[in-house]
Amino acid sequence: MKIAYFDTISGISGDMTLGALISAGVSFDELNAELKALGVQGFELQARHIERNGIIAVKVDVIITEQPHYHRHLKDIEELIDKSNLKENVKQRSKKIFREVAIAEAKVHNTALEKVHFHEVGAIDSLVDIVGVSICLEKLGVQTVYSSPIKVGNGGTVKSQHGILPVPTPATMEILKNYPIMLTEVPFELTTPTGAAIVKALSKGVLTTENIQVSAIGYGAGGREIEQLPNLLRVLIGELEPEYLFDEIVSIETNIDNMNPEIYPYVIEKLIAAGAHDAYLIPILMKKGRPGILLSTLVERTKIERILDVLFRETTTIGVRIQPIERKKIPRSQKQVQTSFGVVSVKVIVTEGREQLRVEFEECKRIAAEKNLPLAEVYRKLERELNS
């Protein structure tokens, strides 16, 4: 899964994000051409390389050539995006970001969502930043976004259309509610509402110990030098390696060609009872053309003797092969879930950060017997309920 990881060295803003994505490999000329699909006039996009603490980064500026004399509501922004020739993914990401800001502004100013006037955020520069970021993510093939805890300034003030506001601003804090943040001693606005909305709308959360195969790195620069830290946003583009659990088990195998086949189900039952993770049969063709069975068992090393006891006592084998095996598996657990059949025990697995619930055969078998229902019907109904 291709991801973008935002490392908020000194917070995040719309122009810093745009600069970092250009630095990571997006063609500035292609971005400019794509932005024309938005159908908005009165701006010029500029990008240049600057140095912050010895690190070369891209600084993006949106130069307003025609100052608009109107404000936009969320509905106006969404209609503008929907009517454009932008790709559908770009439209959806852009609208999601704007909606995060609108919800925060409505909460801060105690007004209805549809009545929110977009001042700074509805201005052309922020419109370009948000749509531009969405275009860049699409061009880089990014499927999802993660971030570090978001750094915010602390103790200063900032001018806005609403007057002097504390840092972090109320809108920024409202957007980042329930998202990990990190307070700093920097008395400047490190994270803007636009930057906060990009993270909140697109990010699946904070990465800590996950493995990333990095294919590109970009740096976006903020507008001022900061004494306490480099005024940069770093973005890592790469593949997020699945987070597997790892352990080592043992494979115990034997070839058998002289045993009554009716005995095998009993043997497998005894192997599972002795602690085997799995036991299975594979038909094989042995020497001299004789048909036989490969009996395989997977078990933890500490239970080898138990398995050998079953094999030598219950089968005709006189020797086995033992091999260590490395195993990777998806994290899983059990939990109780309330369903239309009552409380049911289900398996919980986590893939790509998403939790999935899977029904267990024994639970379905129990319910089918108790309710006098077909087993397949119980399966279908539980799967619909658990994954709806």
When the pLDDT of each residue in the chain is averaged and rounded to a whole number, the result is 89
Instruction: Indicate whether 107 pLDDT > 90.
Output: no
Order of strands across the sheet that contains 354-359: 332-339, 342-351, 354-359
> For the whole prediction, is pTM greater than 0.85?
no
Instruction: Indicate whether 171 pLDDT > 60.
Output: yes
Calculate mean pLDDT across residues 4-21: 96
Q: How far apart are CA 252 and CA 315, in angstroms?
A: 14
Over residues 304-319, the pLDDT tens digits come to 999 999 999 999 999 9
Kindly report the backbone phi and psi dihedral angles of residue 346, in degrees, each rounded to the nearest multiple of 5, phi listed first.
-130, 160
pLDDT of res. 121 = 46
pLDDT of res. 119 = 57
Better pLDDT: 251 or 209: 251
pLDDT of res. 218 = 98
Nearest to 13 by CA among 167, 164, 140: 167
Residue 241 confidence class, pLDDT cut points 50, 70, 90: confident
Over residues 258-272, the pLDDT tens digits come to 999 999 999 999 999
Q: How far apart are CA 177 and CA 180, in angstroms?
A: 8
pLDDT of res. 69 = 56
> Taking a C-beta distance cutoff of 8 angstroms, is the pair 151, 8 a contact?
yes
Which residue is listed with tokens 């038909």? Answer: 283
Q: How far apart are CA 266 and CA 248, in angstroms?
A: 27
Q: Which two tokens stand for residue 276?
A: 């085997």
Calculate mean pLDDT across residues 346-369: 84
Kindly report the number of other CB atoms within 10 A of residue 166's CB atom: 14
Q: How far apart are CA 303 and CA 249, in angstroms?
A: 10
Better pLDDT: 262 or 178: 262
**What's the one-letter identity of residue 164?**
I
Over residues 31-73, the pLDDT tens digits come to 999 998 888 888 899 999 999 999 999 999 998 887 665 567 8
Residue 356 confidence class, pLDDT cut points 50, 70, 90: confident
pLDDT of res. 68 = 64
Calculate mean pLDDT across residues 182-197: 91
Residue 1 confidence class, pLDDT cut points 50, 70, 90: confident
> Does 3.30.70.1380 match the CATH number of domain 245-329?
yes
Instruction: Indicate whether 284 pLDDT > 90.
Output: yes
Calculate mean pLDDT across residues 194-216: 88
Question: Helix (H, G, I), strand (E, B), or coil: what is residue 76?
Answer: helix
Q: How far apart are CA 197 and CA 183, in angstroms?
A: 18
Least confident of 33-37, 271-275, 384-388: 384-388
Query: So where are the chain's domains?
Result: 2-240, 245-329, 332-386
Calculate mean pLDDT across residues 184-193: 89
Calculate mean pLDDT across residues 138-167: 84
Q: How far apart are CA 210 and CA 205, in angstroms?
A: 12
Residue 120 confidence class, pLDDT cut points 50, 70, 90: very low
Q: How far apart are CA 182 and CA 12, in angstroms?
A: 12
pLDDT of res. 161 = 65
Question: Helix (H, G, I), strand (E, B), or coil: what is residue 386?
Answer: helix
Instruction: Indicate whether 220 pLDDT > 50.
Output: yes
pLDDT of res. 212 = 86
Calculate mean pLDDT across residues 135-156: 92
